[in-house]
Structure formats: structure tokens, C-alpha cells
Chain A
Amino acid sequence: MTLQLDAKVPPGAIEDKWDNHKFSVRLVNPANKRKFKILIVGTGLAGASAAASLAELGYDVEVFTFHDSPRRAHSIAAQGGINAAKNYKNDGDSVYRLFYDTVKGGDYRSREANVYRLAHESLNIIDQATAQGVPFAREYGGLLDNRSFGGAQVARTFYARGQTGQQLLLGAYQAMARQVAAGTVKLHTRSEMLDIVVKEGRAVGIVARDLISGAITNHSGHAVVLATGGYSNVFFLSTNAMACNVSAIWRAHRKGAGFANPSFTQIHPTCIPASDEFQSKLTLMSESLRNDGRIWVPSRIGDDRPASQIPKEERDYFLERMYPAFGNLVPRDVASRAVKRIVDEGKGVGPLRNGVYLDFHDAIEREGRQVIQERYENLFEMYQRITDEDPYEVPMRIYPAPHYTMGGLWVDYNLMTTIPGLYAIGEANFSDHGANRLGASALMQGLADGYFILPTTIGDYLAGFLGQPPVPTDDTAFGDAGQEVRDRVDRFMSTRGSRTVDWFHKELGKIMLEYCGMSRSEPGLNKALSEIPALYEEFKTDVRILGTAGGLNQTLERAGRVEDFFELAQAMCVDALHREESCGGHFREESQTEEGEALRWDDDFAHVAVWEWTGDPAKPELNKEPLTFEAVNLSTRSYK
């Protein structure tokens, strides 16, 4: 073990730690803040909220996104909602309960102190967003409405129709736009970070490529913040936007940042199944649908009758059967595995037999079409547009798809990675969700990180550099990093192979889904670890990129991202192989109960697996951060 994994968890009782910490961190005098330059990569919920908040504090902020506008970040696509322990419903919610649910939902693989802080900050997020004009759903009296969401027994989810992510992101984007106008944030759009620059062990800048001109430029700052989202697209087909990728955090990993729990992936149960081989992405149908929809398949294999002609007695409402207490509302990992098992048994429905029904018939009968329409109209419309089937009449077909990555760069309590001066926020860090994220908690985490936590913790680091200007961009550290980036671009452009980038990406995705997806086994992972490097070798010599590097070249952009996926994929398999237990979304076939439920091994695996780059993507070095549970007792999750 060579990484320094000091989580810097503050002393005190769990509910006092954050306050204690705020009091103990060093502050930067308001007049001095503008002397510090902070580079932020990414303008999703995490990046945009951080940029706005840091600029309001007076820091000199520069922001980078490969999108043409900050508002396009993938956060925009979040549908269902955002959790907060406001207890507006008087149904017994509290900061402690949200904390408890998150630790338990994550199957005890997260750091307690961070999760408690997240639950605590959830209250402020809703206030902040509402004041910005985010149009959350309201009741007739004009106050905010809540619903219960995936696995929670209280109604603590705030939502904005089915477009919660869009509205929250626009709120953060607009707050950032105000700072752009004020000159405190400098915005670089269509600008992709291709490497970070480290000097004497500290992060001092980034190398970016202007996607329009192709120019490769150096940018220097006192601290660098990566808010670059998740990497579910390593599976090629996922619910993520097409451009989501791992490159920013992977490049940081190669420069020394520990990568935590890379194999922790969330496979979301309710997505529209693939319809053909040309499928380019999978569309999520919000989890909120499980509040009213019942999931079933025909009891008899090969029953091809239309759903409406299958009598109730001949249907298997399998989630209700297997988990009577939670029924259709079991957490995502549990639901996904059950659906996979049923489809693997040959009971799948639809032309390709690759889905199960999510049926609203009973809800419509109970509550009336009007009510269901009000709740889900835009989702039903989206479904119909894609499948040409009307969910008011015919049950939806759904199947699990890769959706969210709990793994990411390891960060301490201050959200700093193992490279001093380099921070990771939002989905990009290994975050607070342990081995499984609860619905409506990613938006909460991204915004807690960006609005409230980073602006408090970053000063502690910066305070030590008062009076020191950023490292000049002509320093040799920049020269070396820039040269590496240029060499890599040249290598891609001169390969002149025969196959497309997407072909390789799809092949890689198939391997990952098969062996490192919803269920994993030692032989499967070993197979993946022999197939991936072989495919990667082929990629290096046989990929074909046309056009030039001196202008917009979307294939070149994708080539870099796919190459990083090749390396990440190996780390994911190594990590999954190391973790011989099953926990949350990570299911090792070797470790299950008689009923096929995940079996945790707390004695051996109650730790964060933090991998260190060694130069060989298949042989990273393992470091461990032990996890201790003081506020919540380690217990077996049960949703029966």
C-alpha cells in the first residue's frame, strides 16, 4: 500500500462532525479569495453549483465542458426527483433517517461521516433551488409536494414533473451564468480536458483540447475540481447520454489519484429494452413508475398471448411474490437481479423476449386515468414515442440497464483525491452511496458537493498558498503533459486501421455486460480479463479515424474516450474479482444465500478498495480504507 488514505473524518458525534469541521478548517480572507484560481471541469449539477458558489465567494473560477453549452450536461436527463429530509409530510422523516436509509441502501459500503453530512445538507439544497425559481411540484395550497421513491418508506422526494434534473441543472446553470456575466467565472465550452498537470505531487492545471479548432492548450490554477460525471457508458448501452465517459477521472487516476470501487455499478431495473442491433442507448423509465405499476410476466414459459388476454391467475407478479413487504418497491439492485433471473428463465416478454411487464391497469382502475396521467404523462409519452405502444392500454416492457456508477475517484472528507489540490465531486467521486445508490440521491449528492461542501472545504487547502501565483503554463510540468496529449492525438490519427471506434466500443460493452454486469463470477471475470486486453490491442492497431485533428472531429473525441474505457474496464474486472462478497449492486455468484440473495462478508470486505495506477491497467495495486460503523449497526438488508 503506497497511497495515503487518510479520510480526515472530523472528531465528535456523527451529528457534530460537520460543524466541528467547519470550525476547524482554515479560512481564506474575502479580499484574498480572488487571488486564487480554481479550475472546474464539468458543468453538471456538481460542477455548475460549485462554480457558481465559489465565484460568489470571490474565487477566480474557470470552467470547462465539452458540451456546446453548460446546460447540456447529463444531469439534465434526471427524471424522478431529489431527496431531502425536510419531513414536510410529517411522516417520521429526519436527517438521521435519510442518513440511515442511505447507509443501509448502500449495503454498508459507504463512509458514515460523509453520508450524515449529505443528509444534513439535503435541507439546504431544496431551499436554495426553490429560491432560484426551480419549479418543484406543488400542492393546491401552494406548498411543495413530495412523493416516495424507490425503496423509501417516507415521502421525501421533491420533484419537478418528470424533469427534476433539468430544472435543478437550469437553476445551477443560471446561477453560474450570473457569475459569467459578472466576470468571476470564465467559461470554456466545447473544450475537453485531456489530462491533468501535476507538479511536485500537487494538481496545478489541466491540458484541454478546443473541440472546434483542435488547439491543445494549458490552463493553470491553484486547485482543480473534476465534476465530470459517471462512466456507465463503459457498457456501451446505458441510460447515460452518448458522450458520458471516464476520461477526466481516468487521466487523473493515471497521474496518481486512487480509484475507489470501480466495479460498483448500478443497473437500473426500469429501462426500455433494446429493440434491435442498431440501438445506440437505452432509455430510462423513471423509478417513480414502480409506485403505481405492477411488474409481472406470464407464469408459463412461451405464453405468447397479448398481456390483456392473460388472466390474473396465470401471471407471476414476481416481485410481490418474492418480497411481500416491499413488493414492487424493492431497491434497484434487488429488482434488477430478480428481473434478470426471470428473463434468464425464458419468461421474458416482447418480440425479443427481453423484458418484463410494468402494468398500470390496476392503478388506472383504482385512481382513474386522469390521476395517472397527471403523475406520469411525460413518461408515458416518451415510452409511446419510442415503442409506438400506449401504456394506458398495453403494459410497458422494461429491462435493467447500466445507469449509475458508485465507483469513482477516492476522496477524503474534504472531497480531495489522493493528489493534493485535485478534488472530485458529483458522480465522479466514489461518493456516499456505497455499493448501491438509492433513487433521487445522486442529484442530492451532486448539489451538496457543489453548493455547500466544496466551497467550505477547498479554502482549507488554498489558505496554504497565499501569495503564491499559479504555476506558469510554460512550466515543464505543462510541457510534458501537453506533449503526451499531442502524441496521443497523433497516434490515433496515424493508426489508419479498418474498424470504427463504435465497433470497438460495442464489443467492449458486450464483454462488460456479460461478465461484469448484473452478476459476476470468478471464471467470468477472468475471461473478461483475457478478452479485454486482446480487443484493446486490436483497437490500438486497427481503429480508423478520418479527417484531421486540426478541427471538429467527433470520431477522434470518441477514440480517446473509448481507449480510456478499455483501461477502466480492466480495473472494474480486477476490482470485482477482488471483492469476493456480494454487496449492493455487486453480485458475486459465489456469494449468495440459498434464496439467491446477496451475501456480504463484513469481516473481509468492509472496506473501500482503492486502486493505484501501476502502468499496467490489468495490474493496479490495491489499497484499502477500512469502513467502521458507529452510528448505524451493520446488519443484513432484508426487504422481505
Chain B
Amino acid sequence: MNVTLQIWRQEGPDVPGSFKTYEVAGISEEMSFLEVLDVLNERLVTQGEEPVAFDHDCREGICGSCGVMIDGQAHGPQLGTATCQLHMRKFESGSTITVEPWRAAGFPLVKDLVVDRSSFDRIIEAGGYITVDTGSAPDANLTPVPKPAADIAFDAAACIGCGACVAACPNSAANLFTAAKISHLNLLPQGQAERWARTENMVEVMEEYFGSCTNHGECEKACPKSISIDFIAIMNADYLKAKVKNRRLVAQ
């Protein structure tokens, strides 16, 4: 099959970017979307044009490195699928495909399709963990965790940190990302001791970088792991409670 790619090219954050059009012919339906970019890049190098920079690594939909807007959709047209797992059989031969980086103030552009997502690490550092120094853990079977709770916590923990939720959100909010981690930890018995401090701290760091959620729900659709926006409700409820509880704790 043949496709036309309109790709955002931008040398760096301080220079203006623009779309460039490339025809890529003779590709197979079995190829992944990123393999088409590989083929294009091989050709560009041979022709003397700098290849398109894009992030990727595992190519199995788990590391969260990849991610571009494809025809205006984060990770492209297939639901629950990261860019690296998108295959060309989802496109018609002859189609024109627009490829852009994530666009959000919290994710400054680095080059071409590469953005800086380190703000996500800052949110985790604010409380996305359970404090347990190495060596101090009790036997793993000491505390049973009801299977339904464990399963829901896992659904939240499945987040790969790719940033599609932010890219898809009209407000560039990171609520789904933050809620997924808060819910994972707050739903487990091990996470209770730090529940309120974790929630307040993570939400506040999130707000430093990202916009506010107005319940569009685009994030859930863009999420390659189909993480539910119900977790945002859990986070919001915990945040309200946290505000009260933390104040009380301080007053004690």
C-alpha cells in the first residue's frame, strides 16, 4: 500500500515548525505505524534529509515511550492501542495521514515528534509511592487483599505514562494519569497510611503543570490501556476528604 504522511517538523523548541509532506510507497499492511516511520527515515537519510525524531522503545505498548497525534487522535484510530501497536491494516491505501507531537504546555516540545514528559515524574515524586524502606516489609501474605480490590487497583496501575490522556484533553489536563496512580495506591490496604497526604500532594503538583479537568472524557478514549475516568471520581472524592483530614491532622 501507499500512504502520504504529513509530519510536523520542528528543529527545536525555539524555532517555528511546520508540516512536511512525504509519500511512502510499497509498504505492507502487516507493518506497524512506527515501522513506516522507520522506512521513511531510512529513505530520508539516504536522500540527505535529517530523519524524523520520535520516541519509541519497547514497541509492545508497555513502556509508554511512543505516542503521536495521528489525524488528530492521540495514538491514532484504534481504541486501546499505543502508536507502536497500530498496524497499517487500519488505514486505507492512498490515504493522507497527519502526524503531530503531543501538544500541551506541560509537555514542552523537544524536536519534531518528541516532547518532554518529565512533569509526570514530578507528579509521582510528590507522593506516588508507598513508603517502605527495603528490608522492612512484612511477609507478603500477612495482609489479604480482597480480589476485587486488587483487580481494580491493577486496572489503575496499568497506566504506561505515555501522556495520551493529556494530549487528547481539550484542557491539557493530567487528571487521568494522576488519578490512576492515586487510585492504584489508595485502593490497597498498604496505601492507607499515606492516602490523604499522597492525594493532596500529587494533585497540587499536577495543577502546577497541567490544566483543569472539565469532564470531557477524551482521555479515556485515547488511553492505550483504556483506563476508566471513574478513577478521576475516586481521586476527586479523596482530594476533598484529604483537604479536611490533612488540616485536622496538622491541628492535632
Measured CB to CB, the residues of A under 8 A from B are: 49, 52-53, 56, 67-74, 76-77, 86, 88, 124, 126-133, 135-144, 160-161, 163, 166-167, 170, 173-175, 177-178, 180-181, 187, 189, 212, 241-243, 275-276, 278-281, 283-284, 382, 385-386, 388, 451-452, 455, 498, 500, 502-503, 544, 546-547, 551-552, 554-555
Write the B109-136 contact mask toward A (1 if CB under 8 angstroms, else 0): 0110010111011001110111111111
A53 contact set on B, CB distance < 8 A? 134
The reply to whether B39 and A278 form a contact with Cβ atoms under 8 Å apart is: yes
The reply to whether A70 and B121 form a contact with Cβ atoms under 8 Å apart is: yes
Give, as a whole number of angstroms, the nearest-CB distance from A65 to chain B: 11
The reply to whether A72 and B57 form a contact with Cβ atoms under 8 Å apart is: yes
The reply to whether A130 and B191 form a contact with Cβ atoms under 8 Å apart is: no
The reply to whether A278 and B135 form a contact with Cβ atoms under 8 Å apart is: no
B154 contact set on A, CB distance < 8 A? 135, 160-161, 167
Within 8 Å by CB of A551, from B12, B46, B55, B126, lies: B12
| A73 CA to B57 CA, complexed, in Å | 9
Within 8 Å by CB of A131, from B31, B160, B190, lies: B190
The reply to whether A133 and B38 form a contact with Cβ atoms under 8 Å apart is: no
Known: A142-B146, A551-B12. 20 other contacts (CB 8 A): A70-B121, A72-B57, A72-B65, A86-B140, A124-B137, A130-B190, A131-B130, A132-B129, A132-B132, A133-B185, A166-B160, A178-B129, A180-B125, A187-B121, A242-B56, A242-B58, A243-B57, A500-B46, A552-B114, A555-B51
Give, as a whole number of angstroms, the nearest-CB distance from B109 to chain A: 11
Write the B194-225 contact mask toward A (1 if CB under 8 angstroms, else 0): 00000000000000000000000000000000
| A170 CA to B53 CA, complexed, in Å | 27
Residue of A with least CB distance to B133: A56
B45 interface residue per 8 A CB criterion: yes
- The stretch from B68-76, B81-89, B94-102, B235-243 touching chain A is B81-89
Give, as a whole number of angstroms, the nearest-CB distance from A352 to chain B: 11
The reply to whether A72 and B64 form a contact with Cβ atoms under 8 Å apart is: yes
| A133 CA to B64 CA, complexed, in Å | 20
| A455 CA to B133 CA, complexed, in Å | 12
A187 contact set on B, CB distance < 8 A? 121
B110 contact set on A, CB distance < 8 A? 212, 552
Interface members, chain B 140-182 (any A CB < 8 Å):
140-141, 144-147, 150, 153-154, 157-158, 160-161
Most interface-central of B60, B118, B126 (chain A CB within 10 A): B60
B232 interface residue per 8 A CB criterion: no
A552 contact set on B, CB distance < 8 A? 53, 110-111, 114
The reply to whether A74 and B63 form a contact with Cβ atoms under 8 Å apart is: yes
B137 contact set on A, CB distance < 8 A? 124, 127-128, 130-132
Give, as a whole number of angstroms, the nearest-CB distance from A122 to chain B: 11
Give, as a whole number of angstroms, the nearest-CB distance from B216 to chain A: 26
B53 contact set on A, CB distance < 8 A? 552, 554
Ranked 7 nearest A-B pairs via Cβ = A142-B144, A131-B137, A174-B129, A130-B140, A127-B137, A53-B134, A275-B30
Contact A278-B141, Cβ < 8 Å, known A502-B42, A546-B48 = no
The reply to whether A241 and B59 form a contact with Cβ atoms under 8 Å apart is: yes
| A555 CA to B52 CA, complexed, in Å | 10
Give, as a whole number of angstroms, the nearest-CB distance from B47 to chain A: 10
The reply to whether B140 and A546 form a contact with Cβ atoms under 8 Å apart is: no
